[in-house]
Amino acid sequence: MSQTIKPTRRSFDAGFKLQVVGMIKEQGLTVSQVCRDMNLGETAVRRWLAQVDAEQLGQKGIGKPLTAEQQRIRQLEGENRQLRQDNDLLKKASAFFARELR
């Protein structure tokens, strides 16, 4: 029996993605050219371009944030969500104990 081997999915950090996007936007290289030279898939690189464009417009974009500003916003949104949940729990607990004391 022959076994098919799945290729491992490569992952790239935000800095690398921004570097690739910069090569296209700032150096004027084409997506095809960069992908061929760096052995990258065009779909992924086009997604990175769309992500950076969205983030520069102040939108969330798709996937993990690439720019430092969007990364910070995502972190603060998570902290804000957690604080709201904690606050709701404290309100419920104080209402519960207020009823118990009556």
Domain at 14-101: CATH code: 1.10.10
> Whole-model pTM above 0.85?
no
- 3-state DSSP of the chain: CCCCCCCCCCCCCHHHHHHHHHHHHCCCCCHHHHHHHHCCCHHHHHHHHHHHHHHHCCCCCCCCCCCHHHHHHHHHHHHHHHHHHHHHHHHHHHHHHHHHHC
What local confidence, expressed as pLDDT, does residue 49 receive?
A: 94
What local confidence, expressed as pLDDT, does residue 97 receive?
A: 87
What local confidence, expressed as pLDDT, does residue 83 receive?
A: 96
Residues of the chain with pLDDT under 50: none
**Domain assignments of the chain as residue spans, ordered by start:** 14-101
